[in-house]
């Protein structure tokens, strides 16, 4: 899963609340942002939704089951994304944004 595919997946799930956002110290660079009322609830929902986007691929060798390396790579992309998550207060809401994730292709 590439960062652009991940951004597009998040946009598909949260399209009404997504925007192209430039946060603190980004100097005009745009990234994916999601507006919300409760960032903790959104964070938990986002993890659940991202894990659901991963296609489980198994490899069976000598009657032993192993996960395909693409699953490990997909989880690594998600972990890297969540590690860099930032928030800003915007009035009565909060925006979660991902400085290393490009805006979805819609923007």
Judged against a pLDDT cut of 60, whether residue 24 lies above it is answered with yes
Judged against a pLDDT cut of 90, whether residue 37 lies above it is answered with yes
Rounded to two decimals, what is the model's pTM? 0.75
Which residues 6+ apart lie within 8 Å of 89 measured at CB? none
Q: How many Å apart are CA 82 and CA 98, to the nearest integer? A: 8
pLDDT attached to residue 82 = 80
Give tens-digit pLDDT for 55-86.
666 556 666 666 666 777 777 877 887 888 89
Q: How many Å apart are CA 28 and CA 70, to the nearest integer? A: 33
25 vs 70, higher pLDDT: 25
């Amino acid at each position: 899963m590439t960062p652009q595919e991940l951004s597009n997946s998040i946009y598909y799930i949260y399209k009404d609340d997504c925007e192209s956002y430039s946060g603190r110290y980004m100097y005009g660079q745009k990234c994916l942002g999601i507006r919300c009322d409760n960032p903790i609830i959104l964070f938990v929902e986002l993890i659940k939704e991202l894990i659901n986007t991963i296609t489980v691929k198994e490899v069976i060798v000598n009657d032993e089951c192993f996960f395909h390396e693409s699953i490990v790579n997909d989880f690594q992309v998600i972990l890297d994304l969540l590690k860099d998550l930032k928030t800003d207060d915007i009035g009565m809401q909060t925006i979660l944004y991902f400085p290393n994730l490009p805006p979805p292709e819609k923007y």
